[in-house]
A and B are shown apart, each in its own frame.
Chain A
Amino acid sequence: NFMLTQPHSVSESPGKTVTISCTRSSGSIASNYVQWYQQRPGSAPTTVIYEDSQRPSGVPDRFSGSIDTSSNSASLTISGLETEDEAHYHCHSYDGPNQVFGGGTKLTVL
Chain B
Amino acid sequence: QITLKESGPTLVKPRQTLTLTCTFSGFSLSTSGESVGWIRQPPGKALEWLALIHWDDGKRYSPSLKSRLTITKDTSKNQVVLTMTNMDPVDTATYYCVHRLTVAYNFDPWGQGTLVTVSS
Given contacts A1-B63, A44-B96, A44-B111, contact A35 B47 (CB under 8 A): no
- Known interface pairs A46-B110, A103-B46, A104-B47. Does A97 touch B52 (Cβ–Cβ under 8 Å)? yes
Contact assessment for B49 and A45 in the assembled complex, using a CB-CB cutoff below 8 Å: no
Contacts of A46 in B (CB 8 A): 108-110
User: Does B67 lie at the interface of the complex (its beta carbon under 8 Å from any beta carbon of A)?
Assistant: no
Tell me the dominant secondary structure on chain A's binding face. Answer: strand
B49 lies within 8 A of A101 (CB): yes
Distance of A95 from chain B, by nearest CB (Å): 10
Contact across chains for A50 and B46 when beta carbons are under 8 A apart: no
Q: Are B111 and A99 in touch, CB under 8 angstroms?
A: no
Contact B47–A50 (Cβ < 8 Å) = no
Residues of B within 8 A of A35 (CB): 105-107
A-side residues, CB < 8 A to B, are 1, 33, 35, 37, 44-47, 50-51, 56, 90, 92, 94, 97-104
A-B contact pairs, 15 of them (CB 8 A): A35-B107, A37-B47, A45-B47, A45-B96, A45-B107, A46-B110, A50-B108, A51-B105, A94-B105, A97-B52, A98-B62, A98-B63, A99-B37, A101-B49, A102-B46
